[in-house]
Structure 1
Amino acid sequence: MLTLLNLLSAIALLIWGTHIVRTGILRVYGSHLRKVLSHNVSKRPMAFVAGIGVTALVQSSNATALLVTSFVAQGLMPLTPALAIMLGADVGTALMARVLTWLSPLLIFLGVVFFLSRKQTRAGQLGRVAIGLGLMLLALELIVAAATPITQQQGIRVLFASLTGDLLLDALVGAVFALIFYSSLATVLLTAMLTGAGLISLPVAVGLVIGANIGSGVLAFLNSSLQSPAGRRVALGSLLYKLIGLLLVMPFLDPLANWLDGLKWRPEEVVIGFHVAYNSLRCVLMLPTVGLMARFCNWLLPDRPDDSGVARPRHLDPTALATPSLALANAVRETLRIGDIIETMLNHLLEVFQSDQTALNKELARLDDDVDALYSAVKLYLAQVPREVLSGQDSRRWAEIIELAVNLEQAGDIIERMLCKVQDQKTAQRHSFSESGLQELASLHAQLLANLRLGLSVFLSGDKESARQLLRAKRRFRAQERRLAHAHVDRLYDQVVQSIETSSLHMELIADMKRLNSLFCSSAYVVLESGETGALHHSDSDAQ
């Protein structure tokens, strides 16, 4: 019982170490990894190298699979380069695990020093990553150590003795071990130990190593079960490539084992060396076929039709919540999508001003429902982001996203109410705007639309010059709104009948546009509030 408990605790330590490394690296370099993986990977060799590099940094092919499946699910990356990245990830894991074995004591020591002395800095977070890497390597050693007494049991010896080189059976056993240990590398290390102890032959070791790789593919596919079909295709393609590798090596098992047995290396070194060489050769050979594999995976896992009438979030990937920088980037994209819907609603509103289009009532109501649904999704998504691990910059960004989402949701409600007012005047009371009044509303609408676009741009870029430009546009809008209100009063003095009939509606619409303009320009204050307080207060007082 104690041996089993030791094995389970070692596996738990490996899972925890992997979590620390993945979250630590992505908190420090999350946005940079996103750029590396989502850009400049149109060429397969570049995608392959990117997979090696990112996996070497994150130290887990499963972590790389999580990133890549997330990007594919959100439409940020095609499936073909994603499969090339996953092939590179298999090579990166094999190579860097070998290197880090030499550095594990140093990583643990330096990690503790930097994390305790500079906890809130980037160096401190990198120290946390180093601790995680050390824990992973320690866990691998503990798994092998805990499994060693089990392998000495008579029943287990009989089990290993029954493995006589049947590649399919050996691969199945290796895959089961990888699933149990939650690590293909732990299975490879255990296989190396068993080979060195003479408990299994070299052909059996080869089968176990190949099976361990298949087991890691099964793990990745199971972890992607909550993804959309687009995301699951990445894990499926990676698993199929590992199964193909098994089929390709089957005819050459005996000559390969004889060649390996002839090497003047220790059995442990032969097994680990085969693991690195097998993954490298397999992935390089498979790289030209990623396009064909992508088409095959698309056929196996087609997209599910979305027959819902209400918009659904496209970018709020739940698997990215453990990585705040990625989660916030996803929320930004979804919030900008809400802004696009608001822009569409504004364009429809102008059409209602200019002509009697009662059919737009239902369309605008549907769009407002979409805004409400996406706003709720963004709000609930951000509520799941662990606030305690956010840096100061990420905390401010979290608040900015929430504020803009709230403002856009309020804007949608205001636009819908404006539509109801206009339709009531045009249909129930059969009143219409004067030509001058309609031109004034159209000009104010054009400024409002431009300020919405600029406000979304300021929110996305955080550029201070653009923020100051937005505040100047807000002041121009306020001045124009005052002039138009005075011009309307002048028409009332001139006894223009249409202006008299629509006077209340005209002034209410101008007031509603003024409120919309304030909501759209709020992002400028968020950008300028740090380091430019005096200028901000001056601009704000001018805008009132």
Structure 2
Amino acid sequence: MGSLVLLDLMGGVALLLWGLHMVHSGILRAFGPDLRSLLAKALKNRFAAFAAGIGLTALLQSSTATALIASSFTADGLVSLVPALAIMLGANVGTTLIVQVLSFNVAAMAPVLFVIGLVAFRSGARSWIKDVGRVSIGLGLMLLALHILLDTLAPAENAPGMRVFLNAITGDPALCIAIGAIVTWAVHSSVASVLLVMSLAYAHFISPFAALALVLGANLGSAINPVFEGAHRNNPASYRLPVGNLVNRLVGVLLVAPFLRPIADLLQNWQPDLAKMTAEFHTIFNIATAILFIGLLDSMAGLLKKLLPSRIQEVDPSRPRYLDDSALETPSLALADAARETLHMGDLVEVMLRQVMAAMMTNDRTLADRISRMDNSIDSLDEAIKLYMTKLTRGSLDEREGKRAMEIISFTINLEHIGDIIDKNLSELATKKIKRRFEFSPEGAEELLAFHKRTMDSLRIAFGVFMSGDVNEARKLLAEKALLRNAEIAATERHLDRLREGRPETIETTSLHLDVLRDLRRIHSHICSVAYPVLDTAGEPPTHQNAENDPAALPIDLSGKARTESRRESLPPPARRLANRI
């Protein structure tokens, strides 16, 4: 009998946790970006933050999720510690609201929620309606789980073995608090823990005194998870918010625990229904804790800053800045984070491209040596972004999100290729020029700098296309690809003219000059890759996917080759041998 009851109890708890997960993930998928934006706006003063914490946690049904979002804001320095602590006080109150609703007998609503959720979920391609359907199914599962728990515990009320076991582990208040904290920490949900305690109290398996002690433990346990999940070990300052929230809960528990018996007697006289009494104590405790600490947040923030100072660290460019694992449950947020990290990677590529040309023109060996280290950082970011996107794509993505994920991966790969060209080719060319003390002719240097500037301008346009998906800018980028190919041909012809004239600086730098042009054009081709998905999404197939096969560029290319061949014939034999290497 006891083993069957325990098995049914575990099944009911598992169903309850899965229902909570569906509600949480459905809300995040439907309204995640809006909720995050709303939270960022609300974190301006403690009272607005407190209200936002209540509303957000009531929707998400997870104070841990709210804590992780608030922690990311404080870790990035976007908000101060006081409003962040206030939002956690609100989150602790918000998590009690669903418990209050479910303390009433609303199990009859479960079939209705299932039907509504199923219709919405199967309405077509995933949208906010489908996500709301997920929420409806999750709520129905929670109601069904509570019904299973009550039906399981009711006939077991007279089981002497179960009653003796529960009385043994709930007789001591300290043990009750510890059990409640451990269970809540393990299941990552104070809502599930409190609902389970309500079911046990309603079936008279535990005393009112034990129920209140377990609720105190559940409140304490829900503050433990963010300490381990929302902080970074290499930065003590990231522990300020979760530790502050844990201290609030701990102080509240210590203040209330000695008076649990008179509180239990008072509440039982006022509310005979033990399930409702448990839910009401849960709410009262969190409201009282919020009232107690809302005015003390400045002093607490100052103390936390002294105990957990910011660690001054050198900025590691190879370390991802925006890849937040807590956002993986919300594809839109995770994709935004990955796009920001890709731009971070693009910034490093832009710096590399600028510095390699500066090193080449100024014969600065220090700049040339720095390029290789920067390429290692780009490789690290490339791996981190790919790993993050792999984790994201393991979940369910709709067509639009899947396409955006592939765009991010594609652009990341192309940026990594650009870094390799700069490191393995342009940087080596710069080093070769510096070692041999070569100098470009004034005209040749001017041509290379102009070509380089157009490449840099296209890179900045590509960043805009990547983030905005602007079709006009994508067209502009591909048009520039054809123009740059023509510019390469024209620059090659002018170089051959100088070579035919026998200018010494042109002869000694001819292979360098032509190789730099070639590598910059290759870089530009990788830059332009970001335009193709944008035009494809707009239903406008690109006409310049390959500059060599571009119909608009082909006549110019052919005539350029013809002119180049004719000029080669008029070169002196040594210069002609060099030109044939083109």
Deviation at 1:188, TM superposition (A): 3.0
- Return closer, same or farther for 1:299/1:474 CA change in 2, 3 Å cut-off: farther
Within the alignment, does 1:420 sit opposite 2:422 as a pair?
no
Tell me, in whole angstroms, the C-alpha distance in 1 between the residues paired with 2:211 and 2:17.
Answer: 25
Secondary structure of 1:239 counterpart: helix
Tell me, in whole angstroms, the C-alpha distance in 2 between the residues paired with 1:300 and 1:507.
Answer: 60
Kept after mapping to 1: 8 A contact 2:16/2:192 = no
| Of 179, 201, 207, the match for 2:213 | 207
Tell me, in whole angstroms, the C-alpha distance in 1 between the residues paired with 2:340 and 2:305.
Answer: 25
Tell me, in whole angstroms, the C-alpha distance in 1 between the residues paired with 2:512 and 2:202.
Answer: 88
Stretch moving more, 193-202 or 488-497: 193-202
Q: What is residue 43 of structure 2 aligned with on the other side?
A: 41
- Return closer, same or farther for 1:543/1:532 CA change in 2, 3 Å cut-off: farther
Query: 1:470 is aligned with what amino acid?
Result: L
Stretch moving more, 16-25 or 397-406: 16-25
Query: 1:123 is aligned with what amino acid?
Result: I
Superposed CA offset, 1:312-365 (max 9, x none): 223233343343323322221221111011111112112212212112233111
Stretch moving more, 249-258 or 455-464: 249-258
Kept after mapping to 1: 8 A contact 2:202/2:274 = yes
Kept after mapping to 2: 8 A contact 1:73/1:227 = no
Tell me, in whole angstroms, the C-alpha distance in 2 between the residues paired with 1:327 and 1:146.
Answer: 41
Tell me, in whole angstroms, the C-alpha distance in 2 between the residues paired with 1:340 and 1:146.
Answer: 60
Kept after mapping to 1: 8 A contact 2:29/2:128 = no
| Of 440, 446, 452, the match for 1:439 | 446
Tell me, in whole angstroms, the C-alpha distance in 1 between the residues paired with 2:119 and 2:213.
Answer: 42
Deviation at 1:251, TM superposition (A): 6.4
Tell me, in whole angstroms, the C-alpha distance in 2 between the residues paired with 1:408 and 1:478.
Answer: 20
Within the alignment, does 1:116 sit opposite 2:118 as a pair?
no
Unaligned segments of structure 2, at least 5 residues? 555-582
Secondary structure of 1:359 counterpart: helix
Q: What is residue 353 of structure 1 aligned with on the other side?
A: 360
Stretch moving more, 293-302 or 361-370: 293-302
Query: 1:424 is aligned with what amino acid?
Result: K
Tell me, in whole angstroms, the C-alpha distance in 1 between the residues paired with 2:212 and 2:144.
Answer: 24
- Return closer, same or farther for 1:461/1:78 CA change in 2, 3 Å cut-off: farther
Tell me, in whole angstroms, the C-alpha distance in 2 between the residues paired with 1:279 and 1:464.
Answer: 52
Stretch moving more, 381-390 or 257-266: 257-266
Q: What is residue 178 of structure 2 aligned with on the other side?
A: 172
Query: 1:412 is aligned with what amino acid?
Result: G
Secondary structure of 1:533 counterpart: coil
Stretch moving more, 397-406 or 324-333: 324-333
Q: What is residue 580 of structure 2 aligned with on the other side?
A: none
Within the alignment, does 1:26 sit opposite 2:25 as a pair?
no
Q: What is residue 83 of structure 1 aligned with on the other side?
A: 85
Secondary structure of 1:118 counterpart: coil
Deviation at 1:160, TM superposition (A): 6.2
Secondary structure of 2:405 counterpart: helix
Tell me, in whole angstroms, the C-alpha distance in 1 between the residues paired with 2:185 and 2:364.
Answer: 61
Tell me, in whole angstroms, the C-alpha distance in 2 between the residues paired with 1:78 and 1:450.
Answer: 37
Tell me, in whole angstroms, the C-alpha distance in 2 between the residues paired with 1:394 and 1:156.
Answer: 50
Tell me, in whole angstroms, the C-alpha distance in 2 between the residues paired with 1:543 and 1:147.
Answer: 79
Secondary structure of 1:42 counterpart: coil
Q: What is residue 184 of structure 1 aligned with on the other side?
A: 190
Secondary structure of 2:270 counterpart: coil
- Return closer, same or farther for 1:264/1:379 CA change in 2, 3 Å cut-off: closer
Tell me, in whole angstroms, the C-alpha distance in 1 between the residues paired with 2:32 and 2:534.
Answer: 22
Larger Rg: 2
Stretch moving more, 12-21 or 101-110: 101-110
Stretch moving more, 464-473 or 383-392: 464-473
Tell me, in whole angstroms, the C-alpha distance in 2 between the residues paired with 1:426 and 1:411.
Answer: 22
User: Equivalent pairs: percent with the same residue?
Assistant: 40
Q: What is residue 391 of structure 1 aligned with on the other side?
A: 398
Deviation at 1:443, TM superposition (A): 2.3
Query: 1:397 is aligned with what amino acid?
Result: R
Tell me, in whole angstroms, the C-alpha distance in 1 between the residues paired with 2:18 and 2:513.
Answer: 63
Within the alignment, does 1:94 sit opposite 2:96 as a pair?
yes
Q: What is residue 131 of structure 2 aligned with on the other side?
A: 125
Within the alignment, does 1:277 sit opposite 2:284 as a pair?
yes
| Of 136, 148, 159, the match for 1:142 | 148
Q: What is residue 374 of structure 2 aligned with on the other side?
A: 367
Kept after mapping to 2: 8 A contact 1:353/1:438 = no
Q: What is residue 339 of structure 2 aligned with on the other side?
A: 332
Within the alignment, does 1:268 sit opposite 2:275 as a pair?
yes
Kept after mapping to 2: 8 A contact 1:356/1:426 = yes
Give runs of aligned pairs for residues 286-365 of structure 1, distance below 5 A: 286-294=293-301, 296-297=303-304, 311-365=318-372
Q: What is residue 461 of structure 2 aligned with on the other side?
A: 454
Q: What is residue 255 of structure 2 aligned with on the other side?
A: 248
Tell me, in whole angstroms, the C-alpha distance in 1 between the residues paired with 2:362 and 2:265.
Answer: 85
Tell me, in whole angstroms, the C-alpha distance in 2 between the residues paired with 1:353 and 1:522.
Answer: 27
Query: 1:50 is aligned with what amino acid?
Result: A
Say how many residue pairs are matched.
542
- Return closer, same or farther for 1:393/1:192 CA change in 2, 3 Å cut-off: closer
Tell me, in whole angstroms, the C-alpha distance in 1 between the residues paired with 2:453 and 2:5.
Answer: 73
Deviation at 1:7, TM superposition (A): 1.9
Kept after mapping to 1: 8 A contact 2:100/2:280 = no
Within the alignment, does 1:468 sit opposite 2:470 as a pair?
no
Q: TM-score, normalised by structure 2?
A: 0.81
Q: What is residue 563 of structure 2 aligned with on the other side?
A: none
Unaligned segments of structure 1, at least 5 residues? none
Query: 2:393 is aligned with what amino acid?
Result: P
Q: What is residue 5 of structure 2 aligned with on the other side?
A: 3
Deviation at 1:405, TM superposition (A): 0.7
Deviation at 1:473, TM superposition (A): 4.3
Query: 2:115 is aligned with what amino acid?
Result: F
Q: What is residue 58 of structure 1 aligned with on the other side?
A: 60
Secondary structure of 2:318 counterpart: coil
Kept after mapping to 1: 8 A contact 2:227/2:239 = yes
Stretch moving more, 485-494 or 524-533: 485-494
Tell me, in whole angstroms, the C-alpha distance in 2 between the residues paired with 1:226 and 1:358.
Answer: 38
- Return closer, same or farther for 1:29/1:59 CA change in 2, 3 Å cut-off: same
Kept after mapping to 2: 8 A contact 1:310/1:373 = no
Deviation at 1:148, TM superposition (A): 5.6
Within the alignment, does 1:484 sit opposite 2:495 as a pair?
no
Kept after mapping to 2: 8 A contact 1:74/1:317 = no
Secondary structure of 1:390 counterpart: coil
Tell me, in whole angstroms, the C-alpha distance in 2 between the residues paired with 1:109 and 1:15.
Answer: 20
Query: 1:98 is aligned with what amino acid?
Result: Q
Tell me, in whole angstroms, the C-alpha distance in 2 between the residues paired with 1:538 and 1:307.
Answer: 43
Deviation at 1:398, TM superposition (A): 0.8
Deviation at 1:71, TM superposition (A): 5.2
CA RMSD of aligned residues (A): 3.5
Superposed CA offset, 1:235-278 (max 9, x none): 43332221121133356656645653453664433332222222
Superposed CA offset, 1:76-98 (max 9, x none): 66554443333222222211343
Superposed CA offset, 1:358-415 (max 9, x none): 1223311100111111112212222222356111111111111111111111101111
Deviation at 1:296, TM superposition (A): 4.8
| Of 518, 526, 536, the match for 1:519 | 526
Kept after mapping to 2: 8 A contact 1:144/1:190 = no
Tell me, in whole angstroms, the C-alpha distance in 1 between the residues paired with 2:243 and 2:194.
Answer: 22
